[in-house]
């Protein structure tokens, strides 16, 4: 009988990434009972946090009593495999993490780090949220964003074609056309 339970209970992973810096406010927000329970109610079974240089250590746990399993690590040479296997990504507002996740077609919540000075990253996240490619939150609004989100309503991101721009630059610089 356990085999049937294993088949019907598909693993749905939330991958959380803070990049190479410290973003304890995001890790702390994900580690709250409210956020973990809301993710569980939305059908997510596991949370994996890439916590970077942060000092806040989340509570490791196995799935039980309305909470997903939670694990964490500091760094990895590549997060590509984690992104590919995720059912939902919660990320800092770095452009690399945002566009890599969008290219994979994964639902994405971008959490803006308000502690950064001259936070240009928030402009990118807010613009992409306005275009319905992702959800944008702050650490203190993460629970509400998760509670209100409908991943099916997100619009797939279509990267632009850079070839016409590159050809224009080549012509301007006097390079021969292929």
Q: What is the pLDDT of residues 129-146, one digit of tens each?
A: 999 999 999 999 999 999
Q: What is the pLDDT of residues 51-105, one digit of tens each?
A: 999 999 999 999 988 899 999 999 999 999 999 999 999 999 999 999 999 999 9
For the cut 90, the answer to whether the pLDDT of residue 4 exceeds it is no
Structure token pair of residue 147 = 């509670």
CA–CA dist 121, 140 (Å, integer): 18
pLDDT band at 176 (very low <50, low <70, confident <90, very high): confident
CA–CA dist 38, 122 (Å, integer): 25
Q: Which residues of 5-30 are buried (b: 16+ CB within 10 A; e: fewer)?
A: eeeeeeebbbbbbbbeebbbbbbebb
pLDDT at 60: 95
The structure's pTM equals 0.86
């Amino acid at each position: 009988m356990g085999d049937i339970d294993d088949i019907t209970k598909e693993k749905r992973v939330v991958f959380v990434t803070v990049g190479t810096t410290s973003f304890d406010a995001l890790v702390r927000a994900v580690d709250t009972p409210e956020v973990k329970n809301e993710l569980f109610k939305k059908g997510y079974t596991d949370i994996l946090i890439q916590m970077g240089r942060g000092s806040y250590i989340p509570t490791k746990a196995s799935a039980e009593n309305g909470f997903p399993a939670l694990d964490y690590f500091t760094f990895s040479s590549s997060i590509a495999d984690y992104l590919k296997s995720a059912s939902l990504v919660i990320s800092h507002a770095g452009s690399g993490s945002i566009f890599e996740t969008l290219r994979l077609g994964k639902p994405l919540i971008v959490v803006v780090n308000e502690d950064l000075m001259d936070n240009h990253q928030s402009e990118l996240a807010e613009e992409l949220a306005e275009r319905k490619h992702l959800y944008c939150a702050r650490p203190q609004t993460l629970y509400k964003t998760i509670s209100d989100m409908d991943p099916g309503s997100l619009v797939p991101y279509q990267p632009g074609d850079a070839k016409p721009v590159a050809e224009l630059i080549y012509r301007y610089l006097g390079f021969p056309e292929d």
